[in-house]
Structure 1
């Protein structure tokens, strides 16, 4: 079986000096390798092809046959690494917190493991008879939420 850390090392060599970052590497028991990369401005197919060839140049099919898939982290998929949070600041996201509560709003900021999402909530406002919809900043920690993902908006 091909070692996951070997593949990560090869990918990181290719990434060195580029604005891309590694999202995930999976190696199945039958040597199916899936590499996900990302970039703040999106991933180009030409770069996926280049990385795929780079990996193939550094792994030997004579020693072990494998299937290789290189692609971008899917839009709408949960974030896997902190860099993805930074790429989506100012964009609509959905957060499922540890208690199972879902929040939809704009990713306002990211600081280390912490991030803030501005959501719209009904709240009682002083001087008003009915609850009003107001913007509320909700703070979360990356390692304490079930997921955070980009919300694709077709407006």
Structure 2
């Protein structure tokens, strides 16, 4: 079995036992450095990262193929990639960069397999007269329209 396939298989076996965790990304460098990014329905602990690392490292022969590896959780600076990640962030504010280069910010209220629903709050000019009015709008956004989605960090 090829090196990358073997690593992927070991990681999949680990994740099959830990259904609360899921893979966000796995990257292999030319120097055989492996970077695994995990997320979980209830977050990812240091112990979860250690367990994933051990599930791979203890089943590989470093004499046969030397490599380095880091396993980490998806941080707030990482874009959301899967519906499962969106689900765990319902109720939070998201910043979306759309494929048409527009930006949208709103509270995530619903997640489906092909789209999300945000509540947008903004001010717009009155139809008649001067001034502005507050608008609250629900907008469904297909994943295919989203270029990048981040959890908005507010202090």
Question: Fold-level match, TM-score > 0.5?
Answer: yes
TM-score, structure 2 length as denominator?
A: 0.89
Aligned counterparts, 1:1-150, within 5 A? 2-3=3-4, 5-18=5-18, 19-124=20-125, 129-150=130-151
How many aligned positions are there? 153
Mapped partners of 2:124, 2:8: distance in 1: 48
| RMSD of aligned alpha carbons | 1.9
The answer (yes or no) to whether the contact 1:94–1:105 under 8 Å persists in 2 is yes
Mapped partners of 1:44, 1:36: distance in 2: 12
**In the TM superposition, what is the alpha-carbon distance from 1:91 to its structure 2 partner?**
0.6
Question: Structure 2: where are the runs of 5+ without partners?
Answer: none
**In the TM superposition, what is the alpha-carbon distance from 1:110 to its structure 2 partner?**
0.9
Mapped partners of 2:11, 2:129: distance in 1: 57
**What's the secondary structure of 1:58's corresponding residue?**
coil
Q: Deviations over 1:63-92 (max 9, x none)?
A: 111110001012122112221111111111
Mapped partners of 1:121, 1:46: distance in 2: 42
Please say which of residues 9-18 and 105-114 is displaced more in the overlay.
9-18
**In the TM superposition, what is the alpha-carbon distance from 1:8 to its structure 2 partner?**
2.5
Mapped partners of 2:128, 2:143: distance in 1: 37
TM-score, structure 1 length as denominator?
A: 0.89
Mapped partners of 1:17, 1:30: distance in 2: 30
**What's the secondary structure of 1:14's corresponding residue?**
helix
**In the TM superposition, what is the alpha-carbon distance from 1:126 to its structure 2 partner?**
6.6
The answer (yes or no) to whether the contact 1:23–1:80 under 8 Å persists in 2 is yes
Mapped partners of 1:15, 1:62: distance in 2: 26
**What's the secondary structure of 1:76's corresponding residue?**
coil
